[in-house]
Amino acid sequence: MKTIKKTNKCACGKTKDVNGNCDGSHAKRYVGFKGFTLMAIALITFFSIQSFSLIQKETINVISSKIVWKAYKVTGSHEGTISLKSGKLNFNNDVLVGGDFQVDMNSLLCTDLSGDYKTQLEGHLKSDDFFNSNNHPNSSLTFTNVKPINNNSYNVDAEISIKGKKETVSFVVSVYGNKATGVLKLDRTKFDIKYGSGSFFAGLGDNLIYDEFDLIIDINF
Residue 1: inside a domain: no
Half-sphere exposure of 92 (CA within 13 A, CB side): 11
Structural domain containing residue 86: 55-220
Domain match, 86 and 97 both = yes
DSSP letter for each residue of 90-134: EEETTEEEEEEEEEEEEEEEESS--HHHHHHHHHHHTSTTTT-TT
Domain match, 30 and 84 both = no
For position 136, which CATH number holds? 2.40.128.110
pLDDT for the residue 25: 54
pLDDT in tens, 117-165: 999 999 999 999 999 999 999 999 999 999 999 999 999 999 999 999 9
pLDDT for the residue 46: 46
Residue 2: inside a domain: no
Domain match, 127 and 117 both = yes
Instruction: Answer whether residue 79 shows pLDDT above 50.
Output: yes
**Its pTM surpasses 0.85:** no
